[in-house]
Structure 1
Amino acid sequence: MDDVDVDAVVERAGRAEGVWISRFGPDELRERAAAVDTGLPLAGVPFAVKDNIDVAGLPTTAGCPDFAYMPDRNAPVVQRLVDAGAIVVGKTNLDQFATGLTGARSPYGAPESVFGGGLISGGSSSGSAVAVADGTVAFSLGTDTAGSGRVPAALNGIVGVKPTRGLLSTLGVVPACRSLDCVSVFARDLTTAGRVLRVARGFVREDPWSREGDRPLIAQPRMGVPEALDFFGDSGQEKAFARFGGAATVDIGPLLEAGDLLYRGPWVAERLADLGEFLAAHPESVLPVTRAVLETGHGFTAADAFRAQHRLQQLRNAADRMWERIDVLVLPTIGTTYTHDEIAADPIGRNLNLGRYTQFANLLDMAAVTVPNGFTADGRPASITLFGPAFSDETLALAAAGIKTDDTMTLAVVGLHLDGEPRNHELSERGATLAGTARTAPRYRLHLLPSGAPGLVRGDDGAAIEVELWHLPAAQVGGFLAGIPAPLSLGRIALEDGTEVTGFLCEAYAAAGTPDITASGGWRNYRSSGGPNS
Structure 2
Amino acid sequence: MTATVPLHLDLPSLRAAYADGTLTPTAVVEAIFDAIARRGDDGVWVSLAPRAAALARARALEALPALARASLPLWGVPFSVKDCTDVAGVPTSSACPGFAYVPTENNPAVERLLAAGAIFIGKTNMDQFATGLVGVRSPHGVARNPFDARFIPGGSSSGAAVSVAAGLVSLALATDTGGSGRVPAALNNVVGLKPTRGLVSGVGNIAACRSIETLSVFALTVPDAQAAFEVIRGFDAHDPFARQATLAPRRLGDTFRFGVPRAAQLEFFGNGDAAALFDAAVRRLETLGGTRVEVDYGPFLEINDLLFQGPWLAERYGALQSFVDAQPEAILPVTRDILLGGARISGAQVFAAQRRLNLLKREIERLWLDIDVFAVPTTGTAYTIAELVADPITLNFRLGTYTNFVNLADLAAVAVPAGFLPNGVPQGISLITPAFADHDAAALAERFHRHQNLPLAARAVAAADRVAPSHRQEELTT
TM-score (normalised: structure 1): 0.77
| Alignment match, 1:425 | none
The structure richer in strand per residue is: 1
Secondary structure at 2:148's aligned position in 1?
coil
Letter in 2 for 1:348: I
What does residue 212 of structure 1 align with? 244
**2:101 alignment partner in structure 1:** 69
CA deviations on 1:497-524 (whole Å, 9 max, x unpaired) are xx994889xxxxxxxxxxxxxxxxxxxx
Structure 1's 490 and 146: CA in aligned 2 closer, same or farther, altered over 3 A? farther
Question: Which segment is superposed worse, 92-101 or 222-231?
Answer: 222-231
Count of aligned residue pairs for this structure pair: 431
> How far off its partner does 1:476 sit?
4.2
Separation of aligned partners in 2, 1:334 and 1:219: 25
- The answer to whether the 8 Å contact 1:135/1:482 transfers is no
Inter-CA distance 489–322: structure 2 relative to 1 (3 Å threshold): farther
Matched, 1:290 2:313: no
- Between the aligned partners of 1:352 and 1:476, the Cα distance in structure 2 is 28
Q: Which has the larger radius of gyration?
A: 1
Distance of 2:228 and 2:457 partners within structure 1: 22
130, 140, 150: which one pairs with 1:108?
140
Corresponding residue number in structure 1 for 2:403: 358
SS in 2 for 1:171: coil
* Greater RCO, 1 or 2 (C-alpha within 8 Å, sep 6+): 2
Residues 1:8 and 2:31 are matched in the alignment: yes
- The answer to whether the 8 A contact 2:36-2:168 is kept is yes
- State the 1:161 CA deviation: 0.4
State the partner residue of 2:45: 20
Say whether residues 1:222 and 2:257 are aligned partners: yes
Matched residue of 1:475: which SS? coil
Check if 1:475 corresponds to 2:455.
Answer: yes
Residue 370 of structure 2: which of 320, 325, 330 is its match? 325
Q: Secondary structure at the match of 1:222?
A: strand
Aligned equivalent of 1:33:
58
Deviation at residue 2 of structure 1 after TM alignment: 3.2
- Change in Cα spacing, 1:288 to 1:385, as seen in structure 2 (3 Å) is same
Secondary structure of 1:383's partner? strand
- Residue 54 (str. 1) matches residue 83 (str. 2): no
Is 1:262–1:359's contact at 8 Å kept on the other side of the alignment? yes
1:219 is displaced (CA, Å) by 2.7
| Alignment deviations for residues 302-335 of structure 1 (CA, whole Å, 9 cap, x no partner) | 0011110111011000010111111100000000
1:184 aligns with 2:216: yes
Q: State whether structure 2 residue 125 is matched by structure 1 residue 93.
A: yes
Distance in 1 (alpha carbons) for counterparts of 2:50 and 2:428: 35
Counterpart CA distance in 1 for 2:172 and 2:25 is 20
Instruction: Give the Cα separation in 1 of the matches to 2:249 and 2:29.
Output: 41
Q: Distance in 1 between matches of 2:454 and 2:88?
A: 37
1:207-356 equivalence runs, <5 A: 207-213=239-245, 214-220=247-253, 221-228=256-263, 229-243=266-280, 244-245=282-283, 247-356=292-401
* 1:429-487 deviation digits (Å, cap 9, x = unpaired): xxxxxxxxxxxxxxxxxxxxxxxxxxxxxxxxxxxxxxxxxxxx633453445678xxx
- Does structure 1 conserve the Cα–Cα contact (< 8 Å) formed by 2:188 and 2:457? no
- SS at 2:407's partner residue? coil
Q: Tell me the residue number matched to 2:9.
A: none
SS at match of 2:406: coil
Q: Calculate the aligned-residue CA RMSD, in Å.
A: 2.1
Inter-partner Cα distance in structure 2 for 1:289 and 1:500: 36
With over 3 angstroms needed to count, the CA separation of the structure-2 counterparts of 1:343 and 1:310, relative to structure 1, is same
- How far apart, CA to CA, are the structure 1 residues paired with 2:150 and 2:143? 9
Q: Contact conserved, 1:124 with 1:148, CA < 8 A, in 2?
A: yes
Contact 1:114 1:490 (8 Å CA) reproduced: no
CA contact (8 A) 2:197 2:407 kept: yes
Distance in 1 of aligned mates of 2:235 and 2:418: 33
Partner of 2:20: none
Q: Does the 8 Å contact 2:147/2:458 carry over to 1?
A: no
- CA distance in 2: counterparts of 1:489 and 1:389, whole angstroms: 44
2: distance between equivalents of 1:190 and 1:490?
30
The secondary structure found in structure 2 opposite 1:403 is helix
Judge which range, 113-122 or 44-53, deviates more: 113-122
Name the SS for the 1:114 alignment partner. coil
Q: Contact 1:136/1:482 (CA < 8 Å) preserved in 2?
A: no
Question: 1:291–1:218: structure 2 CA closer, same or farther, 3 Å change rule?
Answer: same
Return 5+ residue gaps in structure 1 as ranges.
408-472, 505-534
Aligned mates of 1:347, 1:395 — CA distance in 2: 35
Q: Indicate conservation of the 8 Å contact 1:236/1:378, yes or no.
A: no
Distance between the aligned counterparts of 1:249 and 1:140, measured in 2? 34
Q: Report the CA distance shift for 1:117/1:46 in structure 2 as closer, same or farther (over 3 A).
A: closer
Asked whether the equivalents of residues 490 and 502 of structure 1 are also in contact (C-alpha less than 8 Å), the reply is: no
Higher helix share: 2
2:242 and 2:474 mapped to 1: Cα distance? 43
1:380 to 407, 425, 440: 425
8 Å CA contact 2:148, 2:425 repeated in 1: no
Alignment check: 8 A CA contact 1:21 1:91 kept? yes
What is the alpha-carbon distance in structure 2 between the residues aligned to residue 173 and residue 31 of structure 1?
26
Deviations 1:110-130 (A, max 9, x none): 112110140100000000000
Equivalents in 2 of 1:108, 1:18: separation in Å?
6
Does residue 402 of structure 1 match 2:447?
Answer: yes
Q: 1:392 to 1:65 in 2, by over 3 A?
A: same
- Give the secondary-structure state (helix, strand or coil) at the position aligned to 1:311: helix
What per-residue deviation string (whole Å, max 9, x for no partner) do you get for residues 331-389 of structure 1?
Answer: 00000100100000000000000011000001000000000001123322120000000
Task: Quickly say closer, same or farther: Cα 1:148–1:489, change in 2 above 3 A.
Answer: farther
Check if 1:42 corresponds to 2:74: yes
Task: Give the one of 195, 199, 209 matched to 1:167.
Answer: 199
CA contact (8 A) 2:194 2:216 kept: yes
- SS of the residue 1:358 aligns to: coil
Distance 1:379 1:145 in 2: 28
